[in-house]
Amino acid sequence: MLRPRRDGAAAVDTGTVPTDHEPANVLIVEDEPSLVDILAITLRFHGFTAHTATTAAQAIDQAREHRPDLVLLDVMLPDGNGWQVCRDLRAEHDDISVIFLTARDSARDVVGGLTIGGDDYITKPFNVDEVIARVRAVLRRSAPTVPEPSVLAFADVELDETAYTVRRAGRPIDLTPTEFSLLRYLLVNADRIVTKDQILHHVWEYDFTPESTVVETYISYLRRKLDKHGPPLIVTRRGVGYGLRAPG
Amino acid sequence: MLRPRRDGAAAVDTGTVPTDHEPANVLIVEDEPSLVDILAITLRFHGFTAHTATTAAQAIDQAREHRPDLVLLDVMLPDGNGWQVCRDLRAEHDDISVIFLTARDSARDVVGGLTIGGDDYITKPFNVDEVIARVRAVLRRSAPTVPEPSVLAFADVELDETAYTVRRAGRPIDLTPTEFSLLRYLLVNADRIVTKDQILHHVWEYDFTPESTVVETYISYLRRKLDKHGPPLIVTRRGVGYGLRAPG
DNA sequence: GCGGATTCTCAACGAGCTCACAAGTTCGTC
DNA sequence: GACGAACTTGTGAGCTCGTTGAGAATCCGC
């Protein structure tokens, strides 16, 4: 069974593009075209510059040409493995960050040791919010700035992303990971209605297509836990989607 | 039963042509001629430049020749599927945006993954306002400028398209999706009278022809909800259509 | 490898929405 | 003022969409 991903994924604002500095430059190295598409489109949408490569050789070339700040690197490449590519890239470019893309089961054991020093790995399938969040996190670490506040708030609800806690009117509320992720997405888009499709694409994995009403089910779960302690916050726009609305 | 479409469609001003920059260039790839006509005429009417193709091969050629900013792409093409076309177009042209056209039922599962990053899809049958709105939204995203406000206002009525809310004199008014869509159309054309035919074509699906008085019925609904809280705003031009008129 | 937690599917139910129809009302014209 | 056309609106049927409980599959910690 598929499951939503959320480990470590931070919030992602939809639609806004950072404008206050040069966009970070990301190189995507991955041999499956559809995945390259998804990653490139998503990164560009969020204001990054993205280049792509589908082989190890291409990766080296593209890196020389575009000098990326960060590389999203599939560990299973047709013409050589990702470790070697990583080693070559690091040898040739100072201060280059790497995030590995890897199949779920081989993740922990294989990648673990190599991500010391601030880099990261993402297991496939992922959800897009997670990728953006990790890319941002890694870039932030390598070029430290003012840390962003990690608390999202709306009405009397507070969600702390780093502490992984939720409170309503000061009272702690226990959420499962998927519920947490869904609430975070609603909070990030607090002033607007988001469609079920948008929710699905941001909270669940990119290749997850339910035959059934997962989103509705989780909205129902959230309501039960959240709206128990006060006036209802989650509103349904029939035929459109869901959103948050301050009571009154 | 047929029903009006509105999911995610933003406001569309009819008849006005953007003049402050080069008109955006749209390529329509769709094998049903009548649909191509509807789309091309509509887009040109709204100030876009439109070219058309009915096969995958033609699409590639036309793209080379006209360098479109955006492609409306049917996913079911006679000589190849839309994904491949999409990939080819993306490989060959930087920064090209794609909006997929797809049958309603196959929408979510098939298109989902590819639209995450900011491109979009539209399910058939659609209404033309929706197409224009989505085309504008996608173009806006790929060439970011100052974000447009999402509020339409007239007299003491405000309609917020992203929050899906309507207020009269500050008081929230609860509308059904069709009512919302109709009010938006009236607001966008606040300074003129629109015919019932125009309303039908813009608010309902392009292939919808009622045997009865739907438009009148929905005008009646709107009046009941809107004009309850103040002097009447919706006026009838007997034998012509409807419009908004500021009281006094 | 056991047991609780979590995720997801499915189905039943009910509320909300759309639309057709028809009776009632208004308007313009003669 | 009378007449017909155009418009308004109440009623209700049919359908869609959202809600939620039950349960199966899976995961994860011990």
Specify the pTM: 0.77
Q: Which residue has the tokens 């040739």?
A: A92
Cβ of B145 near strand C (under 7 Å)? The reply is no
Retrieve residue B15's tokens: 């008849």
Q: Which of B35-44, B140-149, B155-164 has the lowest mean pLDDT?
A: B140-149
- Cβ atoms of B241 and B198 closer than 8 Å: yes
* Residue B213 CB in 7 A reach of strand D: yes
Q: Considering only residues A183 and B130, tell me which one the structure prediction assigns the higher pLDDT.
A: A183
| C-alpha dihedral (B88, A32, A83, A106), degrees to nearest 10 | 170
**Is B167 touching A (CB cutoff 8 A)?**
no
Task: Report the SS3 class of residue A154.
Answer: strand
In this structure, which amino acid lies at residue B91? A
Residue A1 has a pLDDT of: 43
Instruction: Point out which residues pair with A241 in neighbouring strands.
Output: A195, A237
Tens-place pLDDT, residues A4-25: 544 333 333 343 334 445 678 9
Q: B85: Cβ–Cβ under 8 A, 6 or more apart, which residues?
A: B29, B56, B59, B60, B73, B77
CB A111 within 8 A of CB A75: yes
Angle, helices A82-92 vs A56-66, to 10°: value is 20
Q: Which residues on B lie below 8 Å from A128 (Cβ)?
A: 116-117
Return positions of chain D under 7 A from a protein CB. 6-11, 14-22, 25-27
Residues paired with A154 in a beta bridge = A157
What's phi and psi for A5, nearest 5 deg?
-110, 145
Average pLDDT over residues B171-175: 94
Query: Each residue of A76-103: pLDDT tens digit?
Result: 787 777 777 888 888 888 888 888 887 7
- Average the pLDDT over B106-125 and give the result: 64
Provide the 3-class DSSP secondary structure of residue A184: helix
Work out the pLDDT band at B145, boundaries 50, 70, 90. low
Predicted pLDDT at B142: 67
pLDDT for B181: 94
Q: What is the pLDDT of residue B84?
A: 78
- pLDDT, tens digit, for every residue of B56-68? 999 999 999 999 9
| A127 CB inside 7 Å of strand C | no
pLDDT at B187: 95
What gap in Å lies between CA A119 and CA A117, rounded to an integer? Answer: 6
Provide, rounded to the nearest whole percent, the portion of chain A with pLDDT above 70. 81
Name the pLDDT band for B46 (thresholds 50, 70, 90).
confident
Q: Which residues does A223 contact at the CB level (< 8 Å), separation at least 6?
A: A232, A234
Q: Is A239 on the interface with B (CB under 8 A)?
A: yes
Phi, psi of B236 (to 5 degrees): -105, 125
Q: Can you give the pLDDT at residue A9?
A: 34
As a whole number, the mean pLDDT across chain A is 80
Within chain A, which residues score under 50 in pLDDT?
A: 1-3, 5-20, 107, 109, 113, 116-117
Residues B42 and A146: their CA atoms lie apart, in Å, by: 48
Distance CA A24, CA A69 (A): 6
